[in-house]
């Protein structure tokens, strides 16, 4: 099996590569804008915003499976530069699908969206299943809703075998500090090392989110490629919401220093849904997938990674 992974050098892409290397004998190819190296994977230089280079890459690889992970993934960044977010996420996917169509190959394509497409959740929507109306509340969410609908349109119009995934919040080692859990873990590690005053700057700690370890999420993507139904859309999440405050308290329990908590207005989103809970029963029914890694283990792994990073610096 020849497998193409876009966004292969990103947070989720690196975990997916590691999982597939351990679980399969598939031949892996990564699509990347920047030079990358890793064992047992061949990286192809291509910019998804350049249709010609994407067509060339897809035509050269002729993949049996495509995992489309690439894109601008930060909600905060999408507020600062909505145009770049829309361009990267929508046109990047459009070019990939056009490359597949024009090459006349028939891969199974796993398109990774986001629970952010559900946006402004009403109490009667909970838990959120795949029939919940889309009410995107930030530019990133708009871009992911467009990707979702574009994938469906290419399935209906051209019979491309596309499976759409809507993962809820996923965390783990290797995630950028712009996201809440690694952002908190980095500050704790700096404070422990005496490189930051013992003040932890936070955003909205009361928001409750559905968190899953990224290593469980990439295992689900693998299952989607094996057992997902083309044209279908699947939620991915634990079904167990936790407040950001609870995650912070767990990490503080794992630290021996005394830390003051201060709310930083710059870290508070313009729009923040108070409660998000995932209903992933459709995917569980089709594949048997269940999250396996406890949240305490995930947080310990993230904090340990940031301690190592701070120690190296």
What is the secondary structure of 3-64 as a DSSP string?
EEEETTTSHHHHHHHHHHHHH---EEEEEESS----TTEEEEE--TT-HHHHHHHHHHH--S
Q: What is the mean pLDDT of residues 215-221?
A: 98
pTM of the complete model? 0.95
How many CB atoms lie under 10 A from the CB of residue 131? 9
pLDDT digits (tens, 9 = 90+) for 68-117: 999 999 998 999 999 999 999 999 999 999 999 999 999 999 999 999 99
pLDDT (0 to 100) of residue 271? 64
pLDDT (0 to 100) of residue 224? 98
pLDDT (0 to 100) of residue 108? 98
Same domain, 135 and 192: no
- Phi and psi for 261 in degrees, rounded to 5? -100, 125
pLDDT digits (tens, 9 = 90+) for 222-280: 999 999 999 999 999 999 999 999 999 999 999 989 999 998 887 776 767 889 999 99
Quote the Cα angle for 180-185-189, to 5°.
Answer: 150
**Burial (CB count within 10 angstroms: exposed 0-12, middle 13-18, buried 19+), residue 217:** buried
Among candidate residues 179, 117, 167, 107, the one with its CA nearest the CA of residue 147 = 117
Same domain, 299 and 226: no
pLDDT (0 to 100) of residue 295? 97
Both tokens assigned to 301: 């792994």
Q: What is the mean pLDDT of residues 137-148?
A: 97
pLDDT (0 to 100) of residue 268? 77
CA–CA dist 270, 184 (Å, integer): 20
pLDDT digits (tens, 9 = 90+) for 21-36: 999 999 999 998 876 6
Same domain, 146 and 197: no
Mean residue pLDDT across the chain: 95
Tell me how many domains the chain contains: 2
Q: What is the mean pLDDT of residues 120-144?
A: 96
CATH of the domain at 149: 3.40.50.720
CA–CA dist 78, 68 (Å, integer): 19
Both tokens assigned to 123: 């109490």
How many CB atoms lie under 10 A from the CB of residue 275? 16
pLDDT digits (tens, 9 = 90+) for 44-65: 989 999 999 999 999 999 999 9
Same domain, 88 and 224: yes
Could you give the angle at which helices 295-312 and 180-192 cross, rounded to 10 degrees? Answer: 50
Q: Say if residue 294's pLDDT is above 90.
A: yes
Same domain, 82 and 228: yes
Question: Contact, 301 vs 148, CB < 8 A?
Answer: no
Look at residue 93 and tell me if it is in a domain: yes
For 10, 43, 188, 221, 238, the CA distances from 16, given in Å and listed in that order, are 10, 14, 28, 8, 19
CATH of the domain at 196: 3.90.25.10
Same domain, 269 and 149: no
pLDDT digits (tens, 9 = 90+) for 175-200: 999 999 999 999 999 999 999 999 99
Same domain, 156 and 272: no
Q: Which domain holds residue 40?
A: 2-171+212-236
pLDDT (0 to 100) of residue 24? 97
């Amino acid at each position: 099996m020849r497998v193409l992974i876009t966004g292969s050098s990103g947070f989720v892409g690196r975990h997916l590569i590691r999982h597939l290397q351990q679980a399969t004998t598939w031949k892996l190819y990564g699509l990347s804008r920047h030079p990358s190296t890793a064992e047992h994977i061949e990286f192809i230089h291509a910019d998804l915003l350049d249709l010609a280079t994407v067509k060339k890459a897809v035509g050269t690889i002729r993949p049996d499976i495509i995992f489309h992970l690439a894109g601008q993934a930060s909600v905060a960044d999408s507020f600062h530069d909505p145009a770049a977010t829309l361009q990267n996420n929508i046109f990047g996917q459009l070019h990939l699908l056009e490359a597949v169509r024009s090459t006349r190959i028939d891969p199974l394509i796993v398109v990774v969206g986001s629970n952010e497409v559900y946006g402004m959740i009403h109490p009667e929507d909970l838990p959120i299943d795949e029939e919940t109306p889309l009410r995107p509340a930030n530019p990133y969410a708009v871009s992911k809703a467009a990707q979702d609908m574009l994938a469906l349109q290419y399935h209906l119009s051209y019979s491309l075998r596309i499976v759409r995934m809507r993962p809820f919040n996923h965390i783990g080692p290797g995630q950028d500090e712009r996201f809440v859990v690694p952002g908190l873990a980095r500050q704790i590690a700096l404070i422990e090392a005496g490189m930051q005053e013992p003040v932890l700057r936070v955003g909205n700690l009361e928001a409750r989110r559905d968190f899953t370890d990224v290593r469980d999420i990439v295992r689900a993507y693998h299952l989607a490629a094996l057992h997902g139904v083309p044209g279908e859309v699947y939620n991915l999440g634990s079904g167990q919401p936790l407040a950001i405050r609870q995650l912070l308290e767990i990490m503080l329990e794992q630290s021996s220093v005394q830390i003051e908590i201060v709310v930083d207005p710059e870290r508070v989103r313009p729009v923040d849904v108070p409660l998000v809970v995932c209903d992933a029963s459709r995917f569980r029914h089709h594949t048997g997938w269940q999250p396996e890694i406890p949240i305490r283990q995930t947080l310990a792994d993230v904090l340990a990674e940031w301690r190592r990073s701070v120690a190296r610096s």
